[in-house]
Structure 1
């Protein structure tokens, strides 16, 4: 009887231990607490916020792409407009240059026509108002000439011509040579100067190639120098302090087109 009691006690104790062990297995290892309701709401809110951010980024991306495309289109249009404007400006410049050249060529042609016409008028009337030389001056090609029948030294002659914005006569081409020959000058100073020695006379034709034509300052002329003068068809040299007539020359003014082309009267006469 006592043995049965002991067996029952032991079994009871064993069952108690088993329950304790089972309870330890189930309770001793702490399971994670069940998520609270507030945490789930926060998680949902965060997820929703992230979703909104993604949507916002997508919308911004679309807006940026659309705006960029529009602005690039405008930029291309501006670039095309700029290139077109540059082409138009270049074409206009070329047109202006061509027009300027045509106007310049036309002006030159008109000037040549006016000069030739004025030459013809000058032959008929030496003091015609189209003449590009001062009154009493002779006109030959591009120069004006005047004969001064006053006996002066060579240097005084140079000074007189300088006061007229002119210089003593020089002969440097055949056209001027023939013009001077036609005047049959007798003892007229030329713009020839030598130093300290007297050269032999020479034919007027030979002076075209002379290196003695005046190209330097005349202030140092003295009584030991010899100057050239023309006498008929020859050139002679004498003391620069001798006195002779002289001839001045200067560049003619351009012929005035309006004073030439507008002076012809319908009946063929000229004013």
Structure 2
């Protein structure tokens, strides 16, 4: 005689299957805890990574110091370096100012392009000698924006007498005053060209020693 399947039996089977599925889902969601040695490995890996980053930053910092195109206290703009010397102790005659710049292997400021002009104007220079050729009068003056190019000085300073006039900058204008007057100094020189490849190689060789 075949067994009769009643409604109660079906309901009991369905509830049993549902309970098993819920238990299975719960088992899947509950991940086993990560062993402590795994956490230690991860912490060690993170520490090593941090150390490598610090070493990398140190190397980059050393390279940057060597790659600086200008000496300390000099400003870098485009291909040139600029040094500002102002204050009572730095106010010198035009000729002495030119000599001081020469000691830095530089020269008094010359402005030969609009880009340099805009940079110099941003510095708001007031009473700084320019590297203009000395004149026999002080009648020439004007706005720097409309006066480039100038007659920039290229000769020996020994030709300058106390009766000559030298150019200086006052914000965005230029004027002439007695070369024996004292004013602030702004020197300029070409920025150093540095080959990154050679610096990187020297860093590697230094670390091997």
Q: Does the Cα contact within 8 Å between 2:134 and 2:153 map onto a contact in 1?
A: no
* Alignment correspondent of 1:152: 92
Alignment of 1:61-140 (within 5 A): 129=65, 130-140=67-77
Runs of 4+ in 1 over 6 A off after TM superposition: 259-262
* Alignment correspondent of 2:176: 237
Shift of 1:146: 0.5
Shift of 1:200: 2.8
Gaps of 5+ in 2: 1-60, 202-209
Instruction: Report which of the two structures shows the higher radius of gyration computed on alpha carbons.
Output: 1
1:162 and 2:90 are equivalent in the alignment: no
Q: Does the Cα contact within 8 Å between 2:108 and 2:188 map onto a contact in 1?
A: yes
1:225 and 2:156 are equivalent in the alignment: no
* Alignment correspondent of 1:180: 120
Q: TM-score, normalised by structure 1?
A: 0.47
Shift of 1:261: 8.0
1:251 and 2:204 are equivalent in the alignment: no
* Alignment correspondent of 1:215: 154
Q: Alignment RMSD, CA only?
A: 2.0
Distance, in Å, in 2 between the alignment partners of 1:205 and 1:215 is 22
Name the SS of the counterpart of 1:229 in structure 2: strand
Shift of 1:194: 3.0
Higher helix share: 1
Quick one: structure 1 residues 135 and 238, their matched pair in 2 at CA, closer, same or farther if it must change by over 3 Å? same
Name the SS of the counterpart of 1:194 in structure 2: coil
Number of positions where the alignment pairs a residue of Structure 1 with one of Structure 2 = 135
Task: Report 1 or 2 for greater relative contact order, CA contacts < 8 Å, sequence distance ≥ 6.
Answer: 2
* Alignment correspondent of 1:206: 146
Distance, in Å, in 2 between the alignment partners of 1:255 and 1:205 is 33
Q: Does the Cα contact within 8 Å between 2:91 and 2:182 map onto a contact in 1?
A: yes
Distance, in Å, in 2 between the alignment partners of 1:173 and 1:238 is 24
Q: Does the Cα contact within 8 Å between 2:163 and 2:178 map onto a contact in 1?
A: yes
Distance, in Å, in 2 between the alignment partners of 1:259 and 1:140 is 24
Name the SS of the counterpart of 2:166 in structure 1: strand
Distance, in Å, in 2 between the alignment partners of 1:260 and 1:183 is 32
Distance, in Å, in 2 between the alignment partners of 1:245 and 1:226 is 16
Quick one: structure 1 residues 259 and 145, their matched pair in 2 at CA, closer, same or farther if it must change by over 3 Å? farther
Name the SS of the counterpart of 1:147 in structure 2: strand
Distance, in Å, in 1 between the alignment partners of 2:135 and 2:127 is 20
Quick one: structure 1 residues 244 and 175, their matched pair in 2 at CA, closer, same or farther if it must change by over 3 Å? same
Name the SS of the counterpart of 1:172 in structure 2: coil
Q: TM-score, normalised by structure 2?
A: 0.60
Q: Does the Cα contact within 8 Å between 1:171 and 1:207 map onto a contact in 2?
A: no
